[in-house]
Amino acid sequence: MRRDELVRWLDDYLRISAFKDPSQNGLQVEGDAEVRRVGVAVDSALTVFEKARAEGVNFLIVHHGLFWGQPLAVVGPHKRRLQALFAGGISLYAAHLPLDAHPEVGNNAVIAQRLGLLEPQPLPHPKYGDIGVVGRLPEARSLSEMEEALGELTGMQPLVHGGGGPQVERVGIVSGGGAGDVALAKALGCDLYITGEPSHAHYHEPFELGINVIYIGHYESETFGVKALAERLEAEFGLPWVFLDHPTGL
């Protein structure tokens, strides 16, 4: 498949132009004109780029790109990252908020689907728009059951801040760094809020607002979207792909 054809398809499918976050969504580094193998990853890191080259990847899709609205001198680690991409002929395509918000392959949509949430609706964020998901479980479940389910889903032990009741039914999800949105989830009637990374600044809010929060890890919460997007590309175009796992533990 031609690189530029794939970029156009991704831009349209992910609605890249609809998001104004500073992550410079879309093609960030231009590699080979012909796409042989797709790689997907959460972060833009030298280790990820080296793994991509070793796996024969020449089109890499990441959630966290190299550029975040500020010019960067091509020195030190940034230079080495770019050198690795150029040496492998690897295109780098970034999708930050577009891959959080997507209703089919977005991080939050996939987590909601895996949990079996019914009547999923966008979670309206005052700054970023409809990036999260709100839905309800088929029946009320205990907080400990949800902890276990999310542990099985991510392969990690979640962190639980049980500020609400022992049973939960209405669930809000914002992947990544959504610790500051506990009050928003409460205002939307959620009795469980799922996000990635905890924050000391917002530690007390679940207990003071009376809502349960489960943190499943920033990295782990954002592996779902890139994998789902790769599966979509394979189904649509027959492109082979590989997930380049480089967990941070955060």
Q: How far apart are the first and last CA of the chain?
A: 35
Residues 157, 138 contacting (CB under 8 angstroms): no
Q: Is 218 annotated as a binding residue?
A: yes
φ, ψ of residue 171 in degrees (nearest 5) = -125, 135
* Ramachandran sector of residue 158 (left: φ over 0; alpha: ψ -120 to 50; beta: rest): beta
H-type alpha helices, 102-249 = 107-114, 143-154, 182-187, 205-209, 218-221, 224-237
CB count in 10 Å sphere of residue 111: 25
- Interstrand relation of 241-243 and 59-64 (parallel, antiparallel or unpaired): unpaired
Helix, strand, or coil here: 14? Answer: coil
Helix, strand, coil abundance in the chain, percent, nearest 5: 40, 25, 35
Q: Is 50 annotated as a binding residue?
A: no
- Whose tokens are 């205002």? That residue is 187
Q: Is 191 annotated as a binding residue?
A: no
**Cα(207)–Cα(200) distance, integer angstroms:** 13
Residues 198, 152 contacting (CB under 8 angstroms): no
Residues in a beta bridge with 39: 60, 242
Extract the annotated binding site for a divalent metal cation: 63-64, 100, 218, 222
Extract the annotated binding site: 63-64, 100, 218, 222
